[in-house]
Every structure is written in C-alpha cells, then in structure tokens.
Amino acid sequence: MLGFVYAAITILAWGTWLAPSQNIHFKNQQIRTFYVGAANLVLATVVLLIQGAGTLTLDVFWLPFIGGLVWSVSGFLAFTASKQIGMARAFGIWAPVNVVVSIIWGMIIFHEFLADDRQILFGLAAALGLILAGVLMIIFAKGSQDQQSNASFFGLGLFSAVGAGVLWGSYFIPIKLASVSMWVAAFPLAVGIFAGSSLMALLTGQTLRLESTAAVARVCATGLLWGIGNYGMLLLVDQLGAGRGFTLSQLSVVVNGLVGVYWLKDPPARSRAGILTLAGCVLATLGGILLGNLK
C-alpha cells in the first residue's frame, strides 16, 4: 500500500511540475530556473532540519553539489524546450533521452548491462527501439501554427530537449561516485542547483522581479513539485527497490503528456499533433518500463 502511495506522489509531482509556471511570462528562462532552484532549496532545507544531517560531511558535500550545478543547466534547457515546442513534446523527448544516457553511463562507468545474456541484449534492443519510435513520433508531430512557420523555434526546442535529457541522464554520476544515498545527497544537490541557477540568472543582467505575486507563487510551485517528486522517488526506491522504483517513475511522462495536451492544449487534444504526441509518450514510457525491468 505504501509503495502505491509513494508511486502516486512521484508520478503526479513529476508529471505536473512544469505546468504551474508554463504560461508565465519570463524575461528569460534563467529567471525561471532561479525561482525553481530557490523553492527546491527551501524544501531540501526543511527536510534536512527534520531528518538531520546524517552522514553528510564537507567531503561528501562537493560531489552532489557538482551534480546540482549540472542539474541547473539541465533545468534551463528543459524550460527553454518547453517554451519553444510545448511542455508535452519537450518532456516526451528529454525523458527517454535521459533513460538512454543513464544506461550508456551505467555501461561505461559502472559496467552495468555487460553480461553476455541474449535475453538481456534482446530486451535492451527492444526497449531502445520503443523509446526511439516514441521520440520520433513526438519530434515529427506538427506543432502550433507559430512553430510550423518558424523552424528556428523547433530547432532550438529540439536541441534544448535533447540537451536536457543528456544532462539529466548525467547529473547523478557525481552523486553515485560519492557513494552516498540520495537522502544524504539531496541537500548539497539542492545547494548546487540554487548556486548554478543563481549564477545563470545574474549573468543575464535582468531583474529577478516577476509581474505579480501570483507568478512568483506559481513558479515556486514548480520547484516544490519537482522536489516533492524527488523525495517521493527516494521513498519509492526504499519501498520497492531501485529498479522497480525507477520504472514506476517513468509513468510521469504519460501524466505530463496528458497535462500538456488536455490542460494546456499544446498541442490540442484532437489534432494530429496531440494524438502523435500522446502515442509517442506512451511508446517511450513502455520502453522505459521495459528497460527498468531488465536484470
């Protein structure tokens, strides 16, 4: 029962975290990243005060902090992608890229999936095929009229979504090299996210002030939802194990696609783009689930 609750928290939080701030006007996406990083740091600080520092030391701090810096760049690219090509399409591209890059790093650095087992190799090929098919469906779905008429929007959005997937598939490496649990790493990770996002925002020379208090609350909600999803994932992994926990978290792609198509209507639900986007999200998620179940 607890596993179901933790899975629901993770899937709903990570499936909806982008939505509150999606239609806010930002001078640039670095400012959006700053507010998300700030809200996530507040949540991580509260959890640290409740849970205690545990085995967190200065020596342990730096590697997760570096992971947080990488995440901040990933977040900026993700927000840029969702701005350019829509939330559902952007998420549907970077999520499977994230999975594939994680697997590649696992093979290269941590020597995972290298056993000479035909069943595993066949499953790996099938999973990657599903992910690739889903991503291609999302990429070639036609977007809004503005996106169709300006190829540079699509190009920048696609590049940013892929970049977000690559970096989000890599930011865990310093944490894993530190040999600490994500519970211990969560606070220095949040500090790194905030430091990286603050630096990017300051380099733009733009004011951090938003158009209204409601806008501040909505973008902070994005940061809190991501943080809640992250802690839900930790509880899910503790309850079900890393493989099954990670597998269930992939269902957030479907939730995000539904939110983008049926709530934000980008792309509209009954359009060709909407149908292809949802189908692509489902295929990519099935690939992620298959990949997560390989032993």
For 248-282, how does the pLDDT look when each residue is reduced to its tens digit (9 = 90+)? 677 787 788 788 777 777 777 778 878 888 888 78
Report pLDDT for 238.
Answer: 73
Report pLDDT for 237.
Answer: 73
User: Whole-angstrom Cα distance, residue 248 to residue 4?
Assistant: 10
- Looking at the structure of the chain, the number of domains it has is 1
Report pLDDT for 147.
Answer: 46
Report pLDDT for 244.
Answer: 63
**CA 91 to chain centroid:** 8
Chain segment 43-76, per-residue pLDDT in tens: 999 999 988 877 788 888 999 999 999 999 999 9
User: Whole-angstrom Cα distance, residue 192 to residue 185?
Assistant: 11
Q: Which residues of the chain have pLDDT under 70?
A: 112-117, 139, 142-153, 240-248, 291-295
User: Whole-angstrom Cα distance, residue 187 to residue 232?
Assistant: 15
Report pLDDT for 199.
Answer: 97
Domain of 14 in residue numbering reads as 2-292
- Residues with Cβ within 8 Å of 215's Cβ and at least 6 positions away in sequence, in order, are 24, 25
